[in-house]
Structure 1
Amino acid sequence: MNTTAEASGGAAQGRRILLVDDSADAALALSMLLEALGHVVRTEHDGPRALASIDDFKPDVVVLDIGLPGMSGFDVAREMRKRDATQHALLLALTGWGSDADRRSALDAGFDHHLTKPVDVANLEALLAG
């Protein structure tokens, strides 16, 4: 089966993705999947480090957990929307929090889409391609 990257002849469709998740295992697994699909991935495990890395990494996409220690993903998303480097980035909430209120809160915080764990890989690929 061809991935989007393979179908396009390699990493031409690759995006710069900042992945923020406090679970090191979950972050590693998803980063390996995203890299296999032809994306460049930087991983951070908390909000302050994610914010500190955006100016030099300049992500096209941010995949951000909501339940982070210290600074919630909602707060990180609000701050990212104020910054030049991520003002127009695609912000994807990837979280175990899946109620209607959680979805509304994510959109209100500046996320473009709200995904629940475990992520549907086909849905994630479609969002990354679009």
Structure 2
Amino acid sequence: MSGHDVEVAQDGPMALRTAAAFQPDVVLLDIGLPGMDGYELARRIRELPKLGGVRLIAVTGHGQQADRQAAAAAGLHSFITKPVEPEELARLLSPV
């Protein structure tokens, strides 16, 4: 966790509720979440007034250009593919 406060959700609807309550600075979200995919989750998070400025980072096993374009269209700032390299994640989590 590298000194970060972390909350975990098991599916899209739970992630939306958790993000609304926790109000994180950064959300790592899997595109293949059950119940609501990561693209829809990103769009729904963007609709929450208190989370309009949160950084959204897609974490997925799908790294094709179409996947990256869909992530950008959904409002995700960054896109990383699995397996995630710790150095890349640390770079993305560092203050902007």
- The verdict on a shared fold, with TM-score over 0.5 as the criterion, is yes
Q: Which residue matches 2:4?
A: 39
Q: Which residue matches 1:97?
A: 62
Counterparts of 1:56 and 1:105, CA distance in 2: 26
- Paired AA for residue 81 in structure 1: R
Select the residue among 81, 84, 87 that pairs with 1:116. Answer: 81
Tell me how many residue pairs correspond in the alignment: 95
1:56 Cα deviation (Å)?
2.0
1:70 Cα deviation (Å)?
2.2
What is the aligned-residue RMSD (CA, Å)? 0.9
Percent identity between the aligned chains? 45
Gaps (5+ residues) in structure 1? 1-33
Classify the secondary structure of the residue corresponding to 2:87. helix
Misfit runs of 4+, over 6 Å: none
Counterparts of 1:118 and 1:86, CA distance in 2: 27
Q: Is the 8 A contact 1:78 1:110 kept in 2?
A: yes
Classify the secondary structure of the residue corresponding to 2:3. coil
Classify the secondary structure of the residue corresponding to 1:43. coil
- Compare relative contact order (CA 8 Å, sep 6+) and give the higher one, 1 or 2: 2
Select the residue among 84, 106, 109 that pairs with 2:71. Answer: 106
Gaps (5+ residues) in structure 2? none
TM-score (norm. length: structure 2):
0.93
Max Rg structure: 1
- Paired AA for residue 128 in structure 1: L
